[in-house]
């Protein structure tokens, strides 16, 4: 059933307090809930409809009176009271559930012998009958009873108010959460766990106990997560003035988890890959992800929990904002430019294709069948870009004022994206024209810029022309409000001071109080619009969309020589990287065309020269260099073709990489040699940057597959003192289908077979491999003793990994598609959320040639014809076929 934003109605009943009791058992678990219900309008007699799924109703009472058969209606998804009391009443419900059989990992389930919950978005209805919607905010207590030996630790939200022993070797704990919350933030954990304990003193002097819970053998790996948590708590105070609001903050790591992590009030639950780290077992990327996600979930305490969403269409209200906050946190803890480059790459690689495909939806979707399908890169990553645009337009201080007003107005409420917009606008008296279109129009705006210099008038003009492509259900679009940050470079590469700009007949001054300004934000709001800079005394080279000030595709009339100039000189480091990427994309497209016409491939020496000078520039940040010498991915190039040709793009990318490795071999070897680690692993920007550069150079070199480079990679593999370098060396060697590859892969497995998270990396490395005919290897790995279809991380590594190899997933004989089709059907019976994420790999099937289209379509049709298909997979598969 499809649900629409336009159909939103206020609830007929509010819940004031909810007292839950869990009796956890091996065979069955009983859940009792006692709710005080308040009709929204006194005296109304609307039915009370409760959601429920996979539940066994044991009993229901209203004002202590047991309901009999005719007093309620029960279907597979609802419990309805047709005529409840017309003023405040008490509702008591007992259900029986079977967490040990719950492989969907939604609601209450068991993971490695421990009980845990995942309620967002609509999992609470798998625990008890409830109005499972975020605008129902109540105060909860939770009493947990369980076997004391099997489940010594019993956790829920808020404060522990009572605990004790019971008969039959059981015990209990009673938790009370003083803050009102929607049921998606409810959590319960019971199991054999131990904690790393620490504390944080808030700036107003509250001492907060911090505990990170894992099985005892994993405790040593929680140090980095604890560091990240304390850093996040401090950062939110410093940057947003936001303090933690309880005396206890718990984090639990579980090995079976559908997503990354969950911000349940004071009891965050994490996928263990985003908590556990040691230098020997986790890479720099893992360390960085942990920092970001620990921050993200912690920041939700204000943006999500204290102020929550009115309905699930508003998801980006909390997710876009909280992603923006975690991005800023990671920037402040590391390198701002490098973080920005990573975030923009992620947007381009994952979100742009979504925005151009059958699942394209606005940051605030208009409808959904299964909400879980809308925890997307559009809601999260594009949503974060929308929040970033407020900051770009208002400045740091204006943005902070908007945030302050947002909390002042809405603390304790369930609100909408307009409420956030209004707070930003009102706090700054700002004029935001049609900015709200960013929430309602899907598709990536395409902006063309043409520039011209008038030497007599000393003016420089930028003409913008924008187009938002059609998306499913939205054939025609309005022009958007696009903030374009611009600077102008003179012939020596310095920024020209900007005095004023002509726009629509007025002259606006840019310079502030006589202070020179070198970057300004143009507000592009129309389909076509011109801005003319005054007092420009030489022909400048424009640096456009500095810092990627809007999530658009920009096409400029800059010549290659201008781009090389920007790559060498732009004061905006993001745009230096971007200039290199634009050049690389152009170059790759040209070579792809040559390849398809069977012309010999020749690499432009200017390009190699440009990369060489970046590589040798000692003044540059090493991680920046690593990013700048990395070519755009296959996906980005296929995105720019009329018909995506994975074989051609792959061949060209390999050709360029080998050519660069050949021509810069000496520089690359010394880069590896000069950037080796000292023995101790340190997680800080300088050390990560050094490792990133070394590893990038090593992967280039190993692509040559010559004895010298292979020996070098072997040496790095054998001497590596941390996973970052060990794994990069392994990946470098594994590029080539050689005997050495097989030996090193086997060696790595035997070293790490007892560490499930490292084994996941080993699966992913083989699955993503571009070596010919890899689908067979991946099929075999499905039967590997370490593989488990029930564990989402394993699936994401092996199946998700395989879909990321353009050549193997899109093999012309259709074997890759057939493999995915079969796995999706099997997986859907176990875990629909995970199956649904996997089936998404088919969604862009129309981008390929006819042969591939037919093969992929056949698999989608096969999936659609499967009996008992989940709503999750149905929604993605049917929309993919329809669009």
Nearer to ligand ARG, 106 or 562 (CB): 106
Q: Minimum distance between the CB of residue 309 and Zn ion, rounded to whole angstroms?
A: 11
611 touches 673 (CB < 8 A): no
Q: Which residues pair with 210 in a beta bridge?
A: 198, 249
Distance CA 124, CA 576 (A): 48
From CA 882, how far away is CA 239, in angstroms rounded? 46
**Contact (CB, 8 A) for 273 and 288:** no
Nearest to 374 by CA among 820, 3, 824, 793: 3
Residue 124 touches ligand ARG, criterion: CB under 6 A: no
Least distance in angstroms from the C-beta of 304 to ligand ARG: 7
Residue of the chain from 13, 55, 104, 120 that contacts ligand ARG (CB under 6 A): 120
Q: Out of 120, 122, 297, 529, which one is annotated catalytic?
A: 297
Q: How far apart are CA 604 and CA 611, in angstroms?
A: 11
Letters for 764-783 (x = contact with ligand ARG by CB under 6 A, - = none) are --------------------
Size of the site for Zn ion (CB under 5 A): 2
**By C-beta, is 372 or 562 nearer to ligand ARG?**
372
Binding mask 663-702 for ligand ARG (x = CB under 6 A): ----------------------------------------
319 belongs to the binding site for ligand ARG (CB under 6 A): yes
Which of 375, 420, 748, 848 binds ligand ARG (CB under 6 A)? It is 375
Of the candidates 559, 601, 599, 602, the one whose C-alpha atom is nearest the C-alpha of residue 583 is: 559
Enumerate the β-bridge partners of residue 32.
21, 94
* By CB under 6 A, residue 421 contacts ligand ARG: no
* CB 118 to ligand ARG: min, Å: 6
Establish if 317 lies at the interface with ligand ARG (CB under 6 A): no
Judged by beta carbon, residue 221 or residue 364, the one nearer Zn ion is 364
Query: Could you tell which of Zn ion, ligand ARG, none binds residue 735, using a CB distance below 5 to 8 A set by kind?
Result: none
Task: Provide Rg for the chain, Cα atoms.
Answer: 28
Nearest 5°: CA angle at 192, between 758 and 287? 30
Site for Zn ion in 220-259 (CB under 5 A): none
> Minimum distance from CB of 347 to Zn ion (Å)?
17
Residue span 355-374 as binding mask against ligand ARG, x where in contact by CB under 6 A, dash where not? -----------------x--
DSSP string, 595-635: HHTTPPP---HHHHHHHHHHHH-TTS-HHHHHHHTSPPPHH
Minimal distance in Å, beta carbon 235 to Zn ion? 17
CB of 381 to ligand ARG, least distance (A): 12
Report in angstroms how near the CB of residue 384 gets to ligand ARG at its nearest.
Answer: 11
Instruction: Mark the segment that binds Zn ion (CB under 5 A) among 313-321, 417-425, 612-620, 751-759.
Output: 313-321
Cβ closest to ligand ARG, residue 264 vs residue 575: 264
What is the secondary structure of 364-411 as a DSSP string? S-SEES-GGGG--HIIIIIHHHHHHHHHHHHHHHHHHHHHHHHHHHHT
Interface characters, 247-266, with ligand ARG (x: CB under 6 A): -----------xx-xxx---
Cβ distance to Zn ion smaller for residue 406 or 533: 406
Grouping H, G, I as helix, E, B as strand and the rest as coil, residue 736 is: coil
Q: How large is the greatest C-alpha to C-alpha distance in the chain, in angstroms? A: 94
Q: How far is CA 832 from CA 101, 185, 482, 504, 862, in A?
A: 14, 21, 38, 54, 17
User: Residue 297 interacts with ligand ARG (CB under 6 A)?
Assistant: yes
Least distance in Å: CB of 777 to ligand ARG?
Answer: 31
Nearest 5°: the CA angle 290, 292, 297 is 95
Cα–Cα distance measured from residue 812 to residue 794, given in angstroms and rounded to the nearest whole number:
26
Nearer to ligand ARG, 314 or 724 (CB): 314
- Residue placing its CB nearer to ligand ARG in the complex, 106 or 573: 106
Q: Considering beta carbons, is residue 319 or 328 the nearer one to Zn ion? A: 319
- Which of the listed partners (Zn ion, ligand ARG, none) does 57 bind, with a CB threshold of 5 to 8 Å by partner kind? none
Residue 121 touches ligand ARG, criterion: CB under 6 A: yes
- How far apart are CB 300 and ligand ARG at their closest, in Å? 6
Helix/strand/coil for 77? coil
Closer Cβ to ligand ARG, 254 or 262, answer by number: 262
Rank residues 303 and 760 by Cβ distance to ligand ARG and give the closer one: 303
Q: Does 825 bind ligand ARG (CB under 6 A)?
A: no
CA distance 627 to 696: 9
Dihedral in degrees, nearest 10, Cα atoms 330, 333, 335, 337: 40
CA distance 494 to 537: 13
Q: How far is CA 158 from CA 146, 175, 191, 229, 540, in A?
A: 19, 6, 18, 18, 59
User: By C-beta, is 187 or 501 nearer to Zn ion?
Assistant: 187
How far apart CA 16 and CA 689 sit, in angstroms, is 52
Strand order through the sheet with 29-39: 65-66, 56-62, 89-97, 29-39, 13-23, 138-147, 170-181, 159-165
Alpha-helical regions (H) of 602-722: 605-616, 622-628, 634-639, 646-663, 665-674, 685-702, 707-719
Contact assessment for residue 466 and residue 445, using Cβ atoms and an 8 Å cutoff: yes
Q: Which of ligand ARG, Zn ion, none is residue 135 near (CB under 5 to 8 Å by kind)?
A: none
The 10 Å CB-count burial string (b at 16+, else e) for 743-763 is ebbeebbeebeebbbbbbbbb
Cα separation, 100 vs 120, whole angstroms: 20
Which CB, 368 or 564, lies closer to ligand ARG? 368
Interface with ligand ARG includes 289 (CB under 6 A)? no
Beta-bridge partner residues of 574: none
Concerning whether 26 is annotated as a catalytic residue, the answer is: no
For 436, residues 6+ apart whose C-beta sits below 8 A from its C-beta are 417, 418, 421
- Interacting positions 832-851 with ligand ARG (CB under 6 A): 833
Q: How far is the CB of 830 from ligand ARG (least distance, A)?
A: 15
121 binds, among ligand ARG, Zn ion, none (CB under 5 to 8 A by kind): ligand ARG
Site string for Zn ion, 314-333 (x = CB under 5 A): -----x--x-----------
CB of 375 to ligand ARG, least distance (A): 4
Tell me how far, at minimum, the Cβ of 110 lies from ligand ARG, in Å. Answer: 17
What are the residues binding Zn ion (CB under 5 A)? 319, 322
Enumerate the active-site residues. Answer: 297
What are the residues binding ligand ARG (CB under 6 A)? 120-121, 258-259, 261-263, 296-297, 319, 372, 375, 833
């Amino acid at each position: 059933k499809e649900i629409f934003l336009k159909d939103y109605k206020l609830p007929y009943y509010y819940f004031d307090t909810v007292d839950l009791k869990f009796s956890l058992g091996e065979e069955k678990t009983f859940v009792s809930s006692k709710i005080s219900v308040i009709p929204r309008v006194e005296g109304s007699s609307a039915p009370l409809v409760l959601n429920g799924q996979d539940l066994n109703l044991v009993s229901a009472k209203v004002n202590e009176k047991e309901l009999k058969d005719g007093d309620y209606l029960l279907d597979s998804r609802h419990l309805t009271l047709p005529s409840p009391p017309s003023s405040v009443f008490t509702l008591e419900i007992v259900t029986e559930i079977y967490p040990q059989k719950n492989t969907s990992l939604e609601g209450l389930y068991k993971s490695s012998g421990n009980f845990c919950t995942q309620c967002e978005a609509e999992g609470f209805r798998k625990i008890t009958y409830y109005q499972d919607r975020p605008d129902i905010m109540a105060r909860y207590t939770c009493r947990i009873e369980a076997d004391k030996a099997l489940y010594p630790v019993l956790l829920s939200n808020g404060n522990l108010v009572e605990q004790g022993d019971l008969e039959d070797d059981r015990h209990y704990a009673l938790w009370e959460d003083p803050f009102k919350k929607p049921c998606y933030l409810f959590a319960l954990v019971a199991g054999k766990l131990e904690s790393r304990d620490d504390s944080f003193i808030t700036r107003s002097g509250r001492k907060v106990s911090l505990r990170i819970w894992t099985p005892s053998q994993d405790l040593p790996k929680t140090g980095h997560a604890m560091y990240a948590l304390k850093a996040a708590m401090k950062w939110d105070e410093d940057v947003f003035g936001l303090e933690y609001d309880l005396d206890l903050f718990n984090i639990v790591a579980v090995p079976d988890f559908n997503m990354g992590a969950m911000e349940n009030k004071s009891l965050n639950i994490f996928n263990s890959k985003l908590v556990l780290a040691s230098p020997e077992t986790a890479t720099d990327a893992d360390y960085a992800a942990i920092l970001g996600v620990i921050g993200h979930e912690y920041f939700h305490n204000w943006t999500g929990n204290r102020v929550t969403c009115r309905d699930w269409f508003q998801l980006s209200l909390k997710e876009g904002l909280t992603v923006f906050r975690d991005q800023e946190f990671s920037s402040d803890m590391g390198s701002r430019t490098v973080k920005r480059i990573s975030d923009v790459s992620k947007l381009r690689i994952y979100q742009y294709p979504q925005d151009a495909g059958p699942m394209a939806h606005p940051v605030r979707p208009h409808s959904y069948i299964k909400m879980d399908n809308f925890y997307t890169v559009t809601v999260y990553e594009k949503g974060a870009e929308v929040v970033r645009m407020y900051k770009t337009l208002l400045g740091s201080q204006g943005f902070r004022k908007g945030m302050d007003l947002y909390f002042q107005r809405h603390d304790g409420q369930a609100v909408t994206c307009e409420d956030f917009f209004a707070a930003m606008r009102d706090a700054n008296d700002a004029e935001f024209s049609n900015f709200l279109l960013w929430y309602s129009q899907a598709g990536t705006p395409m902006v063309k810029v043409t520039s011209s210099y008038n030497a007599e008038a000393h003016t420089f003009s930028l003409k913008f022309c924008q187009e938002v492509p059609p998306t499913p259900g939205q054939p025609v679009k309005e022009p958007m409000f696009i903030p374009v940050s611009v600077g102008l470079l003179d012939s020596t590469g310095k920024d020209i001071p900007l005095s004023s700009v002509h726009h629509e007949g007025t002259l606006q001054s840019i310079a502030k109080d006589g202070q020179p300004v070198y970057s300004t934000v143009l507000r592009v709001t129309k389909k076509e619009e011109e801005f003319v800079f005054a007092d420009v005394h030489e022909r400048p080279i424009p640096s456009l969309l500095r810092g990627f000030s809007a999530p658009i595709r920009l096409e400029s009339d800059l010549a290659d020589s201008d781009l090389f100039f920007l790559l060498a000189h732009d004061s905006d480091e993001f745009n230096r990287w971007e200039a290199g990427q634009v050049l690389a994309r152009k170059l790759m497209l040209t070579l792809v065309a040559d390849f398809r016409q069977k012309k010999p491939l020749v690499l432009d020496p200017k390009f190699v020269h440009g990369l060489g000078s970046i590589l040798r520039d000692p003044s540059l940040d090493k991680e920046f260099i690593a990013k700048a010498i990395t070519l755009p991915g296959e996906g980005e190039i296929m995105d720019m073709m009329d018909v995506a040709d994975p074989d051609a793009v792959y061949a060209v990318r390999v050709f360029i990489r080998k050519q660069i490795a050949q021509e810069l071999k000496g520089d690359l070897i010394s880069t590896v040699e000069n950037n080796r680690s000292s023995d101790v692993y340190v997680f800080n920007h300088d050390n990560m940057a050094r490792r990133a550069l070394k590893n990038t150079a090593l992967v280039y070199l190993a692509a040559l597959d010559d004895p010298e480079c292979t020996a070098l990679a072997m040496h790095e593999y054998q001497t590596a003192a941390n996973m970052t370098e060990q794994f990069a060396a392994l990946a470098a060697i594994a590029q080539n289908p050689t005997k050495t590859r097989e030996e090193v892969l086997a060696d790595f497995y035997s070293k790490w077979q007892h560490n499930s998270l490292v084994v996941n990396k080993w699966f992913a490395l083989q699955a993503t491999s571009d070596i010919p005919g890899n689908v067979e290897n991946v099929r075999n790995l499905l039967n590997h003793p370490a593989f488990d279809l029930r564990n989402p991380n394993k699936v994401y590594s092996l199946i998700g990994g395989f879909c990321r190899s353009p050549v193997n997933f899109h093999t012309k004989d259709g074997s890759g598609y057939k493999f995915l089709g079969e796995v999706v059907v099997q997986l859907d019976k176990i875990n629909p959320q995970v199956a649904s994420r996997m089936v998404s790999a088919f969604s862009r099937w129309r981008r390929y040639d006819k042969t591939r289209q037919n093969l992929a379509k056949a698999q989608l049709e096969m999936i659609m014809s499967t009996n008992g298909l989940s709503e999750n997979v149905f929604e993605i598969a049917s929309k993919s076929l329809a669009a």
